[in-house]
Structure 1
Amino acid sequence: MNEESLSQLYLKDTAFQNLMQRRIFNVLLVASPYDAFMMEEDGRVEEQLYFEYVALNLSSPPRVTRVSRPCEAEELLATKNFDLIIMMPGIDLSETFEGAKNLKAINPDIPIVVLTPFSKEVSRRLSNEDFAGVDYVFSWLGNVDLLLAIIKLLEDKMNADNDINEVGVQMILLVEDSVRFYSSVLPTLYKFLLKQSLIFSTEALNEHEQMLRMRGRPKVMLARDYEEAVELYERYGKHMLGVISDVSFRMGGEKDSHAGLKLAAYLRGRDPYLPIIIESSEEDNRKRVKEFGCQFIDKNSKKFPVDLGSAIMRDFGFGDFIIRDPETGEEILRIHDLKDLQHHIFDIPAKSLFYHASYNDISRWLYSRALFPIAEVIKGHRFKSIEEAPAVRQLFFDLIVKYRKMKNRGVVAIFRKDRFDHYSNFARIGQGSLGGKGRGLAFIDSIIKKNPVCDNFEGVTLTIPRTVVICTDIFDEFMESNNLYPIALSDRPDEEILKAFLSGRLPERLIEDFFALFEVVDKPLAIRSSSLLEDSHYQPFAGIYSTYMIPHVSDRYEMLAMLSDAIKGVYASVFYADSKAYMAATQNVIDQEKMAVIIQEVVGRSVGDYYFPSFSGVGRSLNYYPINDEVPEDGVVETAVGLGKYIVDGGLSLRFSPRHPDKVLQTSELSLALRDTQTRFYALDMREQMISDFKVDDGFNIARLRIQDVAKSGALRYMVSTYDPYDQVIRDCDEGDGRRVVTFANVLQHRVYPLAVLTDFMLSKGSEEMGRPVEIEFAGVIDVNDTSKGMLYWLQIRPIVERKEIVDESILGLPDSSLLLRSNAALGHGTIENVSAIVYVKPQGFNSANNSLIAREIEKINRNFTERNEGYVLIGPGRWGSSDTALGIPVKWPHISSARLIVESSLSNYRIEPSQGTHFFQNLTSFGVGYFTINPSSNDGFYDVDYLDSLPAEYDSRFVRIVRFDTPLAIGINGRKGQGVVVRPDAGIQNDMTN
C-alpha cells in the first residue's frame, strides 16, 4: 500500500470533542425524605457522585434536586429543565408509576428511571404495574456506583447514533432481563470500562486531550429481550466490541430458557469472530456455550465480578495484547501499548499474526483504546494467507507510524522524557505561556494537520521542525532563584548582563528532560526567543532578541552546557540596551516582558565542517512591489541559500511572486543576475573552537561562506546556475568552470522542487486561517530522489497589520515643485501624521567608509527623538540596516525606531540596489512606518536636497543634518500603487492633511 493510499485511508483524526455531546447535568430525584436519607446514608448524593466522577477523571458531575412526591416534580418541571428523573417508590407503588406516566406525558424526552429496593414482595408488586411511563427499573442495593452507571447508560443511549455509527466508537451489548442482576452488573461493567479508559487516555499528549479521549470509551447498551438485542445489533453491529448475555430471557413475548443460546447462534452467523460472554446460573449450559466458542461465567459464583472483568479483559481487547501460538495457545509476546506494537510488529511470528488478524484481535485491541482510525483500516484489511505476513507487517507498521505522526500534529504535548521520541513533534516544558513564536508554531502545526496534502505535496513533506518550548514560568523561576532582576534592569553593558545570566543556574529538573531531547534529536539545535510580546497582532518584536545555534556533539554533558548557556543568553537578551530602547519606543514596560524559549532542530544537513539548509526565506501575503502581471494580493517571497539570518541581515536574496515564479526580476537580464544575486551565505560552524564561550552577538559561531567555494561540492545543486563567460550566458546547472550564480532556476522555472506552490499554499492558508495578511518564515532541504524531493519546514507565521487609512489621491498628483520627496517604489500604506522633522545624511562628500560612524550618530539622534516621543523622516544613501557597510548604513531597528518614514536615496557615485526595507518589514508594517526608494539620477523619484540645505538646521554635523518645520508635514503613501510623497510645507497642503 503506497504513501498516498495510507494518507487517504486514515489521516482523519477522531474529533473526540464532538463525542458525548448530549450529557446529563441536572437530575431530579423524586423520593420521600426517609428514602432519600437512606439512599444518601446521611450524606449527599450529589457529593458522592462528585467524588466518584473525580476518582474516575470524569468531567461535569450532575447536580441533584430532590422533591418528595410526583406532584411536586410536575410543579418544578414547569419552571426548570432536567435531563433525568429518578423516582423511588414509597409504600404506594402505583402512585410512583402513575406519576411517571404523567411526567412522561408532560416531558416525553426526559428519561425516567425507577429505583426500588429489591425483595420478592417488591418484585411481585412490580409485575402488576404499568411501565408505560418508565424507561428503566433498577434495584437499589445501596451502592452509589449504580447512580453513575444509570447516568452513563442513558448518556450512551442518547449519543449512540452519532458516536457509534458516525465516529466508530465501539459498543458492548448487555442482554439481561433480571432487574436485580443488571443493577449489579452495570456498575461493575462501567467501573471497569472507565478505569480502562483512564489508563489508555494517558497516551494522550496533554491533560485536555486526556480528558477528551475518555469520551471514546466503549458504550454499553442494555437489551432486556431477544428482539431488543437483535435490533441493537442491526443498528450498531458493525462497531460491536463484544456481547454479554444471559441464557434465559423473553423471546417472542414469552420467557425462553434458551434465548441466549439462540441469540449467540444468530450473532455467530452474522459475525463469526464476535466475542460473546454467556452468564448463566445453570451449570448445565457451560458445555453448550463452549460449543459456540463463547466464554461461560457462572452467575452464582461468589467472584462473579472478578470472573466478568477477566473475561472482558481477555476477549474484548482490554489490557495487554497477548500474542499466542495458535497451535498450543502458549504466550509468545505481550504488547502494552501502540508504541510497543510498533516496536515489536516484526517480531510477531507469521502464523501468530495471521491467526490474530483473522480473528480481528488486533483491531479489537485498538478499538478498545479508542484508536479508531487505525483500527478501522486494520479491520478492513483482508489477510488471506500466511504468505502475506511480511507485507502485512509492513502495512501495520506504516499505519502506526503515520497515525502517531498525525496524533502529534497540532497538539502542544506535555514533555515527558519517557515518551518523547522520533514521532514527537511539539512539546512544552512548564505550565506558563508559549510566547508569541511558540503560539505561532503551534498554530502552523494545526494548519498542517487540517491539510493532509502537506504530507506529500508534489513529493515534498511540509512540516514544522521538532520543537520543545520552555514556557515562561521557567523564566520567572530562573530570574527569581538567581536574583537577576537588579542587574537585568540596570544600565550595565550588555556583556556584564550576559555574564551574570550565564553564571545563573537553570532548574535541576530540566537536566533529564534535556538528555531525553538529545537522545531523539541528532541535529544542531536553534535556541530562539519566544516572548509574550513577540509576533503579537499589533506590536510584534521581530528580530529584537537573540537566537543561538549549537551543533550536535556526542558528549551529552557538553551538549547540556551549550544548551543551558544558549537559553540563558536568550533570557539575557531581553535586558540588552537595544531591547530596552525598543521597549521604550513601543511604550512597553521591560519588567512585564516574559520569555519562553524555543528549542528546535536546525533545518539542514552537514557539508564538511558546516551545517545549513538548502535554502531559507520569508514570504508576505501582500506585495507592495508587484511587477509585470503581479498584483499585491499575489504575495511575495524572498529566498536565499543557507541560514535565514543572511536575509535578516540584509543580504542579497532572490525575490519572486509565488504565483509568477517564471518572472524573477533579478535574473531577467545577465547584468542583473551577475550583480544582484547572492555571492555569500551563512552556515553554522561546527568546528570545536567555534562553540566555546557565548557572546552578546548571537552570530559568533555563524560562518559566512562563498557560494563559489561550496557549490563545487554539489551541495547547492538546483539552486545555482553557472555563468559561461565565453558565450555570455547562464546555464541552469551547477557544472562547468564559470562563476556560480544563485538563480533557483531549476526550482522556480523547471519545478524540480515545488517551492512556488508551497509558499503560495502557506501564504494563502496562513492568511485564511489568521484572517489577516501574514508574514511567514521557512527553510527547506532539497533532496531529489526516487521517493521524495525533500522537506520544507514552516518556521513562523505572524500577522501584518495593514493600515486602512484612505490616502488623499490629490496630493499624490502634485508636481515635483510642491514636493520634498516622491517615490515610485514606496512601501507602506496610508497617511503619516504629526511628523515635522527631517534627519538626512549629507550627500556632499559622502563616503561609505564612514557608514559605521554615521550609524552611531543616528542612534544618538534617535534616542533624543524617542525620549521626546517624537517622530521624524530619515533620509540616507544605500541600504538602511545592511550589516555590510559597503552597501549602506548598518543601523538596527532600535537605532531608528522613532523614524516614521525611512528613505533610501541613491547618489550618482553610490548606487546600491534598493533593499525595499526587508530588514525591518515587520516593524514597518506594524507601526505604519513608510519606506521610500528614490533614484533621482535616473529620474526614478524626486528628492529636493537643495531645498533642505537652504533651510536653517536644528542640528548640523560632519555627516548628518536635522531640519525642523513649524507645522507637520503632509506624507501620503498608496502601497497598492507603490506611490509615496512628502509635500513641501510651503505648498499649503499640510493643514488640509492634518486637521
Structure 2
Amino acid sequence: MNGEEPRQSEDRVSTGLAGLDEVLDYLRIGDNVVWRVSHLDDYRRFVLPFVDAAADAGRQILYLRFGDHPPIIENHPAVRTIEIDALGGFESFTSRVWHLIEQHGRGAFYVCDSLSELLNAWATDAMVGNFFRVVCPFLFELDTVAWFALHPERHSRMTLDRIRQTTQVMLDVRRHGDNVQVQPIKAWRRQSPTMFLPHREHNGQFCPITDSSDATRLQASLEQEGLHRQPLLDYWDRLFQDASRALSENDPAAIANLQEQVLQVLVSRDPQILELARRYLSLEDLLAIRGRLVGSGYIGGKATGMLIARNILLKDDPQQWQEMLEPHDSSYLGTDAYYAFLVHNGLWPAIMRQRSATGYLAEAPALQNGILEGRFPDEIRADLERLLDHYGQYPILVRSSSLQEDGFGNAFAGKYDSVFLVNQGSPEQRLAALEDAIRQVYASSMSKDALVYRKQRGLDQREEPMALLIQRVNGRFHNRYYLPDAAGVGVSRNTFAWDSNMDPKAGMVRLVMGLGTRAVDRIEGDHACVMALDHPTRQPFRNQDESFRFSQHLVDLLDLETGGLETRPLSQMLPSAPNLPMNHLAEIDRDATARAEQIGLDGPVWRLTFRPLVQGSRFINRLSSLLATLEAGYRHPVDVEFTLHLNAEGEPSFNLVQCRPLATIGETGPVQIPDPLPEPRLLFRTRGHFMGGNINLAITRVIRVNAAIYAGLNTNERYEVARLVGETVRASAEPTMLVGPGRWGTSSPELGVPVRFSDIAGVAALVEVSENAGDMVPDLSYGSHFFQDLVETGIAYAALFPDTAHCQYHPDRLPPCQLSGMAGQAAEAVEVHHITRGQLQLTGDVVSQQLVCYFTD
C-alpha cells in the first residue's frame, strides 16, 4: 500500500494542534496514526484536540472502546462510543471492527483504545500486529482517519515493525520528568529537513531539537530510565518466562495462578475441557507443549485430547501405563499461525465475504483456492525447517486440530483433512511437501462437508481457527514400506452390541493391520475386525469361511518409492515385507493355502482375524483398562485412536493418537415391543445389528432405493440416484426412514448408494440391506467417522441381513410408492412411500437387542 500513489484527495486534516500540524504538514485523508507512548495520558492529551477539530469540521467520529484502561474520551457530544468485547478472540473481534468500518462507510474518523490492551484478551502479541494489518488497509481504502495507541515495551520487535510498515503515520511520545518530547517516526509521502527529529513542546509550539548534544543527552536519560524495564519481549514470551521462573522457585501460589493463565491461552476456552486440563495438565506439561509449538495461540482440540488422555493414564494408572504407553513425539502449529497465514496472503476480505449469510457456501471454493496458493510468513517457514530437522526422515502425519474439534458434543470426525508425508528427499523437497500438507489441511476448513456440519450445529458464526497436530508416524520400515503393526479405534461404550449377552459398558474395538485410516473410515470392499471387548471372539458370522471372507484383505501403508499413502493387497505385500508379525495378528487359511499350492503359489494364505492377538496376549485386558481409565478421567464415554507396537512375544505397547468424548444418543427410556405382533403388520425385524440405544420412532415417510433396479444401473446413473435421494430428503422435514442396498455414503457405487452424509443428515433412521442383486452388503462401521456422524446427529441405524434366520424383511408391504416424476432408470430406482394410514413405528430394545418396524392401526 505504501508504495502506491494515493487514490484519496490531498485534503489536509488537522491534528487540532497548530504546532503539530506544522511539524507533520497536517494529516491526510486515509491516514492511520499510531502513537507509541509509555503513559496513556500522553495519548489522551493529543486525542482531545483532534476530536474537537474533527467535530468543528462536521466529521462523524467513532470511539472504539475495548480496553480495561479508563476511557480516552468521555461524554463528548460529537463522539459515538462503541463498546467491543475482545475476549471472544482475534477473529470475532476483528470481524466486528471490520463490519463497523463497513457499516459507517467513507469519511468516518476513528479513535481507538490502546492496541496493547488486546494482549489482555489474546495474550499473543503476533495477533495484535495481524489485527492492524487487516484493519489499516481497509480504513485507508475508505478515506478515514484513525488514531491508535500502543505501549512499545509490551510488544515484540516483529509486531512493532509490522505495524510501522503498515501505518501511514507513527509518532513516539517520550516523557522525562515534566518534559514531553514528540518524535515523528513515519509520515507517509511528506518530509522536511527536521520532521523526524525529536520535538519539544513549548507554548503550543513543537520545536525540533537541532542541537545534537542536547539530543544525545535526552537519549541517554531515556535509556537510563529504560534499564529498569523488562527486555523487549511480547506478552506471550513473558508469560512463559514467568512460568519457568515460578517452577524454578517452587512458588505454589504463582504456579497455580500461571497454570490457569497459560491454560486459557494455550489449551481451550471450553469450560468442560478446561476442567479436565486443570486436573491433568500441570504447568510443567504446559511448558513442554510450548517447547514443541510453532508460533503461538491454541494447540486445538485434537492435540489437547491426545495430551490429556496420555496424562490420565500416566497419573491414574501409572503402574501399567508407564511401561505400556509409548512416549509421544508430537509438535503443534498454533492457531495464530493460521490467522497469520490468512493475513499474510491478503485473504481477510475473502474471509469476511465467506462469513456472510449469502457467502457461507458460495465464497468457500474461492477461499479454498486462495489458501492452497498461499505462502507462509518467513518466521513460520524457519520454524518448520527446524521441525523437520527434529523428525529426520521418519514419516510424519499432519493432522487438523481446530479450536472446536474433538470437544464435548462436536467431534468434527473426518470433516477436516489429515495428510501423511513419507518425508523423503532433500530438505527443500521435504519442506515444500510439509507446506503443501499444511495448506491442504487449512483449505479443508472450507470444504462443503465441514461447513454444512458446522451450520447444522449452529457453529457457523463461531470462531474456528485451525491449529495442527504434527506427529511422527508410529511404525517400522519394511524395505520400501512403512507401517505400524496394527491400529484401531476403541470406544468405551458399545452402542452397537449384536448379541444380547454383550454389555454395552464393556466397550468395543475396530482393529486393522497397518495405518489406522482403515479403522476410522468405511472400508470400501474390505472389512475391519470388530470386537466387543467382553466377548472378543464372538463374531457375527455363521462359520469360519464367512469370518475369513469378511476380514481385512487390504493394508494401508506408506510407500517410500511412490512417495505417498497407498493400499496394498496383503498377499502382494508379504513377499516384500517378510518381517511383518503375521503369527501374532493372523491365522492361516489352510483350504486357501492348499488351493494356492495347487496352482504353484508360494507361502501360506494369511487371514487377518487378530485371534492370536486376542488369545495370546494381554491386548484385550489392556485396551479394556485403557478405555475404563479414560472414561473415568473424562467422566464421560470416550472414543480413542491408537497404534500397536508388538514385541517378539506378541505383547503390545500402545501409542495413543487421539482421544475425544464419545457422542452418544443415549437411552430413550423403556420401550415396549408388541407381543405378539401380527405378521401382516411387520415391515422388518432383526436381532442385533442396530444402533441408537432404545429406539421409539414414529415414521411417516420411507425413501427406498430399489435394489433390483439399482443393480442394473451404470456408474453415472448410480450417482444420479444419490443426487435424487439427497433432493428428496431435503424436500420435506417429516420423520423419514431411508432404506437402501449395501452401504449408504460409500465412495464405491457398486457397494451401495454414494450419497454425501450432509445430504441425508436430516433423516430419522438409516437402514442398510444386504441384497442378492450385486455384492451390496452393509458395513457395521462401529467407531468409524460414519458411525460418529450417525451418533452425533441422532440417527438410528439398522443393518438387515434377510438371508439369516434372525432377520425378516417385507418391503412389498410398504404402501404404493410415489416416483420422482423424472424420466430414466435412476429416477425409477428411488421410491417414496408416504404412510397415510396410521404410522410406521420403529422400536428397538437395547437389552434384548430386538428391533422391529411395524405398521400401527
Whether TM exceeds 0.5 here: the answer is: yes
Query: Which residue in the other structure is 2:345 paired with?
Result: 482
Task: Determine if contact 1:851/1:888 at 8 Å carries over to the other structure.
Answer: no
1:442 matches 2:288: no
Q: In the TM superposition, what whole-angstrom CA distance separates every residue of 1:649-683 from its partner, at most 9, and x where no partner exists?
A: 322111223343444556x8331232111111111
1:964 matches 2:834: yes
Task: Determine if contact 1:934/1:940 at 8 Å carries over to the other structure.
Answer: no
Task: Determine if contact 2:301/2:402 at 8 Å carries over to the other structure.
Answer: yes
Cα distance, 1:450 vs. partner? Answer: 0.4
Q: Aligned letter for 1:604? A: G
Matches within 5 A, 1:387-406: none
Task: Determine if contact 1:955/1:961 at 8 Å carries over to the other structure.
Answer: no
Question: Structure 1: how far apart are the matches of 2:720 and 2:833?
Answer: 19
Cα distance, 1:760 vs. partner? Answer: 0.7
CA gap of 1:218–1:914, structure 2 versus 1, over 3 A, is: closer
Report the 3-state secondary structure (helix = DSSP H, G, I; strand = E; otherwise coil) of the residue aligned with 1:714: coil
Matches within 5 A, 1:261-276: none
1:897 matches 2:765: no
Query: Which residue in the other structure is 2:671 paired with?
Result: 808
1:632 matches 2:515: no
Q: Aligned letter for 1:958? A: E
Report the 3-state secondary structure (helix = DSSP H, G, I; strand = E; otherwise coil) of the residue aligned with 2:401: strand
1:828 matches 2:692: yes
Query: Which residue in the other structure is 1:704 paired with?
Result: 567
Question: Structure 1: how far apart are the matches of 2:566 and 2:769?
Answer: 31
Q: Aligned letter for 1:532? A: L
Query: Which residue in the other structure is 2:604 paired with?
Result: 738
CA gap of 1:572–1:736, structure 2 versus 1, over 3 A, is: same
Question: Structure 2: how far apart are the matches of 1:663 and 1:595?
Answer: 42
1:538 matches 2:380: no
Question: Structure 2: how far apart are the matches of 1:932 and 1:710?
Answer: 35
Question: Structure 2: how far apart are the matches of 1:664 and 1:899?
Answer: 29
Task: Determine if contact 1:639/1:655 at 8 Å carries over to the other structure.
Answer: yes
Q: Aligned letter for 1:655? A: V
Question: Structure 1: how far apart are the matches of 2:369 and 2:427?
Answer: 23
Match for residue 725 of structure 1 among 587, 591, 594:
591
CA gap of 1:938–1:773, structure 2 versus 1, over 3 A, is: same
CA gap of 1:589–1:729, structure 2 versus 1, over 3 A, is: same
Question: Structure 1: how far apart are the matches of 2:712 and 2:507?
Answer: 33
- Greater RCO (Cα-Cα under 8 Å, separation 6 or more): 2
CA gap of 1:448–1:603, structure 2 versus 1, over 3 A, is: same
Q: Aligned letter for 1:803? A: G
Cα distance, 1:487 vs. partner? Answer: 5.2
Q: In the TM superposition, what whole-angstrom CA distance separates every residue of 1:3-31 from its partner, at most 9, and x where no partner exists?
A: xxxxxxxxxxxxxxxxxxxxxxxxxxxxx
Task: Determine if contact 1:782/1:790 at 8 Å carries over to the other structure.
Answer: yes
Match for residue 862 of structure 1 among 723, 726, 730:
726
Q: Aligned letter for 1:710? A: M
Question: Structure 2: how far apart are the matches of 1:902 and 1:880?
Answer: 8
Match for residue 879 of structure 1 among 739, 743, 762:
743
Task: Determine if contact 2:475/2:482 at 8 Å carries over to the other structure.
Answer: yes
Cα distance, 1:719 vs. partner? Answer: 1.5
Task: Determine if contact 2:453/2:758 at 8 Å carries over to the other structure.
Answer: yes
Query: Which residue in the other structure is 1:393 paired with?
Result: none
Larger Rg computed on CA atoms: 1
1:925 matches 2:797: no
Match for residue 557 of structure 1 among 413, 428, 443:
428
Question: Structure 2: how far apart are the matches of 1:554 and 1:472?
Answer: 29
Q: In the TM superposition, what whole-angstrom CA distance separates every residue of 1:525-583 from its partner, at most 9, and x where no partner exists?
A: 11111223322222321111111111122532222221121111111111112222323
Cα distance, 1:886 vs. partner? Answer: 3.8
Question: Structure 2: how far apart are the matches of 1:648 and 1:812?
Answer: 39
Task: Determine if contact 2:702/2:737 at 8 Å carries over to the other structure.
Answer: yes
CA gap of 1:455–1:941, structure 2 versus 1, over 3 A, is: closer
Task: Determine if contact 1:819/1:983 at 8 Å carries over to the other structure.
Answer: yes
Match for residue 560 of structure 2 among 682, 686, 707:
686
Q: Aligned letter for 1:707? A: L
Report the 3-state secondary structure (helix = DSSP H, G, I; strand = E; otherwise coil) of the residue aligned with 1:777: strand
Match for residue 507 of structure 1 among 371, 377, 383:
377
Question: Structure 2: how far apart are the matches of 1:208 and 1:884?
Answer: 56
Query: Which residue in the other structure is 2:298 paired with?
Result: 433
Question: Structure 2: how far apart are the matches of 1:782 and 1:204?
Answer: 44
Question: Structure 1: how far apart are the matches of 2:602 and 2:321?
Answer: 34
CA gap of 1:974–1:616, structure 2 versus 1, over 3 A, is: same
Report the 3-state secondary structure (helix = DSSP H, G, I; strand = E; otherwise coil) of the residue aligned with 2:487: strand
* Deviating more after overlay: 656-665 vs 608-617: 656-665
1:519 matches 2:397: no
Report the 3-state secondary structure (helix = DSSP H, G, I; strand = E; otherwise coil) of the residue aligned with 2:803: helix
Task: Determine if contact 1:410/1:449 at 8 Å carries over to the other structure.
Answer: no
Question: Structure 2: how far apart are the matches of 1:911 and 1:884?
Answer: 11
1:655 matches 2:530: yes
Question: Structure 2: how far apart are the matches of 1:495 and 1:739?
Answer: 47
Q: TM-score, length-normalised on structure 1?
A: 0.52
Question: Structure 2: how far apart are the matches of 1:943 and 1:603?
Answer: 45
Gaps of 5+ in 2: 1-235, 254-279
CA gap of 1:887–1:473, structure 2 versus 1, over 3 A, is: same
Task: Determine if contact 2:817/2:831 at 8 Å carries over to the other structure.
Answer: no
CA gap of 1:728–1:663, structure 2 versus 1, over 3 A, is: farther
Matches within 5 A, 1:595-674: 595-623=466-494, 624-627=496-499, 629-651=501-523, 652-664=527-539, 669-674=543-548
Gaps of 5+ in 1: 1-201, 220-405, 421-426, 691-700, 989-995
CA gap of 1:979–1:662, structure 2 versus 1, over 3 A, is: closer
CA gap of 1:443–1:915, structure 2 versus 1, over 3 A, is: same
Matches within 5 A, 1:59-458: 210=244, 213-214=247-248, 216=250, 411-413=285-287, 427-451=292-316, 453=318
Cα distance, 1:485 vs. partner? Answer: 5.3
Report the 3-state secondary structure (helix = DSSP H, G, I; strand = E; otherwise coil) of the residue aligned with 1:476: helix
Task: Determine if contact 1:585/1:866 at 8 Å carries over to the other structure.
Answer: no
Q: Aligned letter for 1:564? A: E
Match for residue 947 of structure 1 among 810, 813, 829:
813
Question: Structure 2: how far apart are the matches of 1:678 and 1:204?
Answer: 53
Q: Aligned letter for 2:522? A: G
Task: Determine if contact 1:526/1:549 at 8 Å carries over to the other structure.
Answer: yes
1:784 matches 2:818: no
Question: Structure 2: how far apart are the matches of 1:784 and 1:607?
Answer: 16
CA gap of 1:938–1:641, structure 2 versus 1, over 3 A, is: same
Task: Determine if contact 1:539/1:927 at 8 Å carries over to the other structure.
Answer: no
CA gap of 1:955–1:614, structure 2 versus 1, over 3 A, is: farther
Cα distance, 1:741 vs. partner? Answer: 0.9
CA gap of 1:641–1:943, structure 2 versus 1, over 3 A, is: same
Question: Structure 2: how far apart are the matches of 1:848 and 1:756?
Answer: 44
Query: Which residue in the other structure is 1:273 paired with?
Result: none
Cα distance, 1:872 vs. partner? Answer: 2.4
Q: Aligned letter for 1:818? A: R
Question: Structure 2: how far apart are the matches of 1:567 and 1:517?
Answer: 13
Question: Structure 1: how far apart are the matches of 2:734 and 2:308?
Answer: 36
Report the 3-state secondary structure (helix = DSSP H, G, I; strand = E; otherwise coil) of the residue aligned with 1:557: helix
Cα distance, 1:461 vs. partner? Answer: 2.7
Question: Structure 2: how far apart are the matches of 1:461 and 1:601?
Answer: 18
Cα distance, 1:207 vs. partner? Answer: 6.2
Percent identity over paired residues: 22
Q: Aligned letter for 1:569? A: Q
Match for residue 935 of structure 1 among 797, 801, 804:
801
CA gap of 1:929–1:454, structure 2 versus 1, over 3 A, is: farther
Report how many aligned residue pairs link the two structures: 570
